[in-house]
């Protein structure tokens, strides 16, 4: 029996290959990937703020008047409405601002 260990660099190479392949089909694809990465980075920052304030996803969801699954989706970088993002920020005691 043989065991194969895949390193993170292999995963990144695979991801790069997928992006290159999809870019050949659609020149807009890298932009979509960048947008998804930006959402994910924002989501991580918001989750860190929530955790720093010692708030659970359940508490935040109750303050928002929604389910914990919506909070989980937002914190995972899911594509959510701006109004949901505003309610989330309010629920964790932050102000929502857009800087251009």
pLDDT digits (tens, 9 = 90+) for 45-92: 999 999 999 999 999 999 999 999 999 999 999 888 999 999 999 999
Domain 8-91, CATH among 1.10.10.10, 3.40.190.10, 1.10.260.40, 1.10.760.10: 1.10.260.40
pLDDT of residue 1 exceeding 50, the answer is: no
Does this model's pTM top 0.85? no
CA distance 6 to 86: 40
Element (H, E) at 36: helix 29-52
Is 60:92 a contact under the CB 8 Å cutoff?
Answer: yes
CA distance 88 to 74: 9
């Amino acid at each position: 029996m043989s065991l194969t260990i895949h390193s993170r660099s292999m995963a990144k190479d695979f991801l790069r290959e997928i992006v290159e392949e999809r870019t050949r089909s659609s020149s807009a694809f890298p932009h979509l990937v960048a947008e998804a990465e930006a959402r994910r980075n924002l989501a991580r920052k918001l989750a860190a703020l929530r955790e720093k304030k010692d708030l659970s996803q359940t508490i935040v969801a109750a303050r928002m008047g929604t389910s914990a699954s919506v909070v989980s989706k937002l914190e995972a970088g899911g594509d959510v409405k701006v109004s949901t993002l505003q309610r989330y920020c309010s629920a964790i005691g932050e102000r929502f601002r857009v800087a251009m």
